Amino acid sequence: MAYRPTFISFAPSYECNLACAHCCVPKGTADTLPLRVALDCVQEAPALGITAVGFTGGEPMLVCDWVAEVTREARRLQLEVNDLSTNGVWWEGLSDLERALATLKEAGFVPGFHLSVDAFHAGSGSGKQAEFVQAAVRVFGQTGNVSCAESPKHSATPALRRLGARLGGKVVEESDETGRLLWGDQEMPYFRFPVADVGQRSGVGVSTGSEWFGEFDCFGHDSVYVDPDGNAHFCLGFASYAARPLWLGRVGQDGMAQVISEAAENPLIRLLCAEGPAGLRRVIEEREPGAFDTPWVSPCAFCYHCLTDDRLGSVLNEAGILPQRERT
């Protein structure tokens, strides 16, 4: 499968009102991605087969006017804009909250909000998060979904139940990974995903478990992530933020078309598109049986580990997957 992204996710700023221990977003040099760079990417998008635009962070709602400008241009070009990750507690007063939501609506944003509700994010399940959800329903008539970072020691269930209770509703579990928050005539689906137990912000990516992640369990190779410094990254998982081999180039300097074209010829990107992180495991274990003492539950943590560990990097280098100059 070739690398042909259909989705751009912009991180307009590294700024966030929280400092969560598990956060994997590095601190770069730029305050905000220049608006002109983002607009140029959006204008290139239709010719590249990109059909949708979204926002992550940092906390993108702290630069709501920037988000709105990019949204307007994307909608002008008939791209979908219905994806924004938020902690839901960035606002200071209800008037501030409703002004920001109204600005996004006027620009053409259609939620999807991905609301973080788990044991890691401060304010998860709080009255303030519930007010955010209720305001989104008032402004848009809908909200989006809930994303729950989890580890064997940190369950999202208590925070989910608190939020459900504050909304006057309940949590309905559908599987170990998915379910819904129900209140009145509204609902928000939720999904759980594994993260490391300890601080990814410090570069520690330990995430072992009792069984391996799925054969192609990955945050997706159909995306390109653009950080506030103008670097393009392969996907939306934390390995892509932190592991230099997954940095594709600088869109402000080279343009989105050149960055994607060169990435499609990269042997590491080709392997991940064909097999996901399981491909890294296959290549390494073919050359070094027993390389992994225990299974890894998080594909992102595993990918990060493989691409930043010197010993495993040498194995991938010998296999022609990871040239020496691209390793961290």
pLDDT tens, position by position, 13-66: 999 998 887 777 766 666 899 999 999 999 999 999 999 999 998 899 999 999
Residue 304 domain flag: no
- 3-state SS, residue 226: strand
The answer to whether residue 241 sits within a structural domain is yes
Angle ∠(201,302,235) on CA atoms, nearest 5:
75
Structure tokens at 201: 């912000």
pLDDT classification of 325: cutoffs 50, 70, 90: very low
Q: So what's the pLDDT on residue 328? A: 42
Q: Alpha-carbon dihedral of residues 96, 101, 105, 108, nearest 10 degrees?
A: 110
189 SS3 class: strand
Pick from 267, 236, 237, 266: nearest CA to 249 = 266
In this structure, is residue 69 part of a structural domain? Answer: yes
- Read off the pTM: 0.91
Q: Range of 76's domain?
A: 7-264
Read off the CATH number of the domain in which 125 is found. 3.20.20
- Residue whose C-alpha is closest to residue 47's, from 10, 9, 83, 4: 4
As a whole number of angstroms, the distance between CA 49 and CA 122 comes to 38
| 172 domain residue, yes or no | yes
Q: What DSSP state is assigned to residue 5?
A: -
Q: Is residue 237 part of a domain?
A: yes
pLDDT one-digit tens code per residue, 126-173:
999 999 999 999 999 999 999 998 877 789 999 999 999 999 999 999
Whether residue 301 lies inside any domain: the answer is: no
pLDDT band of 250, cuts 50, 70, 90: very high
Any domain includes 37: yes
CB atoms within 10 A of CB 99: 12
Is residue 72 in some structural domain? yes
Question: Would you list the DSSP string of 49-107?
Answer: T--EEEE-SS-GGGGHHHHHHHHHHHHHTT-EEEEEEE-S---SSHHHHHHHHHHHHHH
3-class DSSP state for residue 247?
Answer: strand
**Count: domains in the chain:** 1
Indicate whether 95 pLDDT > 80: yes
What whole-number distance in Å separates Cα of residue 131 and Cα of residue 178? 23
Type and span of the H or E element at 292? none
